[in-house]
Chains A and B, each alone.
Chain A
Amino acid sequence: MKIKNILTYCFISSLFLFTLICIWKILVTLQGIELTNFNFNKLFIFGIILCAINLLIGKKLNLNIKIILLALLFSIFDYFISINLPIWYSLGIFLISLFFFNNIKNYDKNFLSKNHSSQNLFFNFLTLFGITLFSFVILFPFYMMLVTSFKTQALLLLNPLDFSINFVQGLPELFKSYFVVFKDYNFGRYMLTSTIVSLGTVIITLIFAIPAAYAVARLNFFGKNFLSTSILIIYLFPAIVLVIPLYTIFSQLGLRNSIEGLLIVYTATTLPVAIYMLQGYFKSIPKELEEAGIIDGQNWLGIIFKIILPLSLPAISSVALYVFMIAWNEFLFSLMFLDRPNTFTLSRAIQFLNVGAETPRQYLMAGSVVVTLPILIIFVYFEKYLVSGLTAGSVKG
């Protein structure tokens, strides 16, 4: 029982350490440093030895001294088996092993002899593994998007793994792709179009949705239940089944290649979810407040503007942000409806860049950063509102 626990502990923790080192090595390789081996055998076995030592020392030594000692040992070992690497690489290794030993410092023989300790251990490490791996896997493409936009095609052909950013060349050189994208590829205009379309969609959707949601939430009328279920059903119909009829109708009406056409379609497709989200919130507002308003002689419009709106600002902001996100990211309709560059939105423009002549990849990635960054900034800044919007509206995606 105890041996089994010790073995699982050593094995899992060494594996975890090795994973961390691997991620670090990949990141280092992408700085253009020649590194061709993970040294799995040596590092893994040395890791097991160090974990066993950690267990043996237990709490006999000051914990801080223990982790620094072990981390130093590990870094020195790694330094000797890998050749000709810069000092910051070893420093990184040292910090990672410091983090790792800090996490396992509390394990000793007593802990491992407890009930379920191997399973507890496993779950603890699963969390650590998960957090590291998930963040790496998720952030890696974003990281690559960003660093590719700072390179040039020629440099990337020379060494496809060198993504180091050269700060010496000065800012204008560094941000050259962005200048090109805005100047030669007209991204300023596309950005303006995207902003107008997204903000317009938000405003029109709210103007339509707030009264409708209020009616569904509060007023009694024939067909109310039918309406509130059909909102959900309509919401589940995807854009792809609308695209052909809308294309034919819009072609014949001359609404293609126009911002108005896009606004109409975006508003109609986001309306059901906006109504659905808002009516849920309106129902939670106490009815007494409105009754007080009626006694004060307000009409329906007054009630909506003076009582409902101020109280439901958080819900309205969630809806607005969610609708903005949908409109900003929308691709299918902009692909179908826009084929003249002067009406392109950002998404459509990037697709045009990729399909058209061989666009150097750094321009493509710079364009991608331009379209991604605003939405990520908005998301991080308004995270609270957007998350509640996402949860409520995420039947769609």
Chain B
Amino acid sequence: MSSKLAKIEKRTAYLLILPSVLLVFSIILFPIFSNIWISFKNVELKDLRIPEPRAKKLVKSIKDNPNQIKIIYKLRNSSLTQEITNVKFKDRYPDNIEPTNLDKRCEFKQKLLQCELGNWPKKYRENLEIVFQNTNNQEISKKELKSYKPKLSGKSQNILLTYEFTLNNFKKVIKDKAFIDLLSTTFYYTFFGTIGAIVFGILAAQMVNQKFFGRTFMRSVLLFPYVAPVVALAYTWELLLDPTSGTLNNLLINYQIIDGPINLLGQKYVTLNILGFDFKLRLALTTVIIFEIWRYFPLAFLFILARLQAVPKELYEAADVDGANPIQKFLNITLPQILAVISILFMIRFIWNFNKFEDIFLLTGGASGTRTLPINVYQQGFSIGDIGMGSAVSIVIVVFLLIFMFIYFKLLGKRADEN
């Protein structure tokens, strides 16, 4: 009896999860695996169009002979790269005409012309000319002739489904001189973006954890950058930071803090002189990181605040009795309590910043030294149009991701053991 129930339970469970599993499998897992497939292929954006045989029909009357008419079919292979095999051609005609010179490949039967045009190599072009004679001395209607459209069909290899593989994409990715730079930019962006967001998150949480007037409103306001659409925010920042008409530069010039405008998003390096040493700061990258911190510290804030509110008040009261000062209280009570949250937060934010695409894309488009791995996927795949290369870069991202996830789940497991 119970085993029967268990069986029903099992069947119900599979039924309930099946739709979700299928959808997630086809839209998330399958693409991740097909990335591997595509990355070993030499595919470009233009190859994605499936090659088609095409025909343009021209109707021309023949001089001094109203009883005959010439039809020219301009045939071509739409693809510049692939051949089409087994092309078949079909067209219809009015009742009162029949062909005088028929191509060997064609056959005319009951108003219907059918041709077997064989294989067309890439860029193939041909003009098929047929002269028609009318059978009942009535005028041949050009209009009627033109109203019929030829139908063509053919088989072509879908380049994505062939078994030709190449290692060139990965060779290009790794041998590229810019690859090291790309990696360092990505890690620089990820690391400082994450650390910054967490530091500001701790500061904000520490503040809002105290009671003051308008505290709930403050909490909402702090989350605004995180919930608002990135497109709107990125363009607002772009306008604010614009070197000529941007508000920030104009304000700074107005208050005589700087002499001339600074192109915060368009300048790769800026040289800073600190204590007599010259530092080269990556200006555009720093600006993008600041935007990143501005947008994502609310999240860190939310997490840390939730943890702070769970810290028992007795701990602080005991510390007061012991005569601890605020810094000691923060270092010895607050920090250890939120350390676990911070480490989890660090891993999650690290993974997400590593994959961040929209923010940089909208602010700089990857120019002025802000090209990270995700931006490179887009540029290779869609700006240059090399889908294979784009996929290869995606694979690099996935490999890094798997490493991070391994560390993350190790960390999670360790924390679960401790509790």
The interface residues of chain A lying within 8 Å CB-to-CB of B348 are: 394-395
Interface string of A210-233 (1 = CB under 8 A from B): 011011100111101001000001
Given A115-B323, A234-B24, A244-B35, do A138 and B222 touch, yes or no (CB 8 Å)? yes
B251 CB-CB contact with A under 8 Å: yes
Interface string of A349-381 (1 = CB under 8 A from B): 011001000000100110111011001100110
Q: Is B178 an interface residue (CB 8 A)?
A: no
Interface residues of B in 203-236 (CB under 8 A from A): 203-204, 206-207, 210, 212, 216, 218-233, 235-236
Cβ of A238 within 8 Å of any chain B Cβ, yes or no, is yes
Give the number of A-B contacts (CB < 8 Å).
Answer: 289
Q: How far is it, in angstroms, between the C-alpha of A122 and the C-alpha of B10 when the chains are bound?
A: 61
State whether the Cβ of B239 lies closer than 8 Å to any Cβ in chain A.
yes
**Is the CB–CB distance between B16 and A130 below 8 Å?**
no
Q: A212-B16, A238-B355, A268-B28 are in contact. Are A376 and B34 (CB under 8 A)?
A: no
Q: In the complex, which residues of chain A have a beta carbon less than 8 angstroms from the beta carbon of B343?
A: none
Smallest beta-carbon distance A150→chain B, Å: 14
- CB neighbours (8 Å) of A272 from chain B are 24, 28
B306 at interface by CB-CB < 8 Å: yes
Q: Are A148 and B239 in contact (CB under 8 A)?
A: yes
B207/A127 in contact, CB under 8 A:
yes
B370 at the A/B interface (Cβ < 8 Å)? no
A329 adjacent to B28 (CB under 8 Å): no
Contact B387 A275 (CB under 8 A): no
Contact B31 A216 (CB under 8 A): no
Answer whether residue B174 sits at the interface, using C-beta atoms and an 8 A cutoff.
Answer: no
B68: CB under 8 A from chain A?
no
> Which residues of A sit under 8 angstroms from B245, Cβ to Cβ?
156-157, 160, 361
Q: Are A238's CB and B352's CB within 8 A? A: yes
Stretch at the interface among B72-80, B98-106, B391-399: B391-399
- The answer on a CB contact under 8 Å between A351 and B362 is yes
Q: Which residues of B contact A380 (CB under 8 A)?
A: 220
The reply to whether the CB of A297 lies closer than 8 angstroms to some CB of chain B is no
State which of B121-129, B131-139, B146-154, B374-382 sits at the interface with chain A: B374-382
Main secondary structure of the interface of A (DSSP, over half): helix
Task: Name the residue among A134, A239, A347, A387 with the largest chain B CB count within 10 angstroms.
Answer: A134
Docked complex Cα distance between A231 and B316 (Å) = 39
Please state if B35 and A391 are interface contacts (CB–CB under 8 Å).
no
What is the CA–CA distance of A134 and B294 in the complex, to the nearest angstrom? 10
A396 near B352: Cβ-Cβ < 8 Å: yes
Asked if A126 is at the interface of the complex by the 8 Å CB criterion, the answer is yes
Task: Provide the bound-state CA to CA distance between A321 and B408, in Å.
Answer: 28
Band of interface residues on B: 35 or more
Question: Contact partner of A234 among B29, B226, B394, CB < 8 A?
Answer: B29
Q: Contacts A141-B236, A244-B391; is A264 near B27 (CB within 8 Å)?
A: yes
Q: Give a binary string over B31-44; 1 marks a CB under 8 Å from any A CB, 0 the rest.
A: 11011001000010
In this complex, the member of A215, A216, A380, A386 whose beta carbon has the largest number of chain B beta carbons within 10 angstroms is A215
Q: Cβ of B9 and Cβ of A37 under 8 Å apart?
A: no
Whether B302 contacts A391 by the Cβ 8 Å rule is yes
- Cβ-defined contact, A249 with B16, below 8 A: no
Chain A residues with CB under 8 Å of B160's CB are: 248, 252
Q: Is the CB of A268 within 8 A of B23?
A: yes
Mask of A15-50 contacts with B, CB within 8 angstroms, 1/0: 000000000001001100001111000000000000
- Given A160-B245, A331-B231, CB of A219 within 8 Å of CB of B16: yes
Please give 14 more A-B residue pairs, beta carbons under 8 A apart, in addition to A331-B230, A346-B229, A347-B231: A119-B327, A135-B218, A144-B239, A212-B21, A219-B16, A243-B378, A244-B381, A245-B30, A247-B381, A248-B43, A268-B24, A271-B20, A387-B223, A391-B306
Closest CB pairs A-B (n = 3): A268-B27, A238-B355, A368-B232
Binding site for A on B (CB under 8 A): 6, 9-10, 12-14, 16-17, 19-21, 23-24, 26-32, 34-35, 38, 43, 48-50, 158, 160, 203-204, 206-207, 210, 212, 216, 218-233, 235-237, 239-240, 245-247, 250-251, 254-256, 294, 296, 299, 302-303, 306, 323, 325-327, 348-349, 351-352, 355, 357-358, 362, 374, 377-378, 381-382, 387, 390-391, 394, 397-398, 401, 405, 408
27 A-B residue pairs with CB within 8 Å: A130-B203, A130-B204, A130-B207, A134-B222, A141-B240, A211-B17, A211-B19, A215-B16, A215-B17, A219-B13, A219-B16, A220-B6, A240-B355, A240-B357, A242-B28, A243-B378, A246-B31, A248-B34, A248-B43, A300-B16, A331-B229, A368-B236, A375-B228, A390-B223, A390-B227, A397-B226, A397-B349
Interface residues of A (CB under 8 A from B): 26, 29-30, 35-38, 115-116, 119-120, 122-123, 126-127, 130-131, 134-135, 137-139, 141-142, 144-145, 148, 156-157, 160-161, 163, 208-209, 211-212, 214-216, 219-222, 224, 227, 233-234, 236-249, 251-252, 264-265, 267-269, 271-272, 275, 300, 325, 328-329, 331-332, 336, 346-347, 350-351, 354, 361, 364-365, 367-369, 371-372, 375-376, 379-380, 383, 386-387, 390-391, 394-397
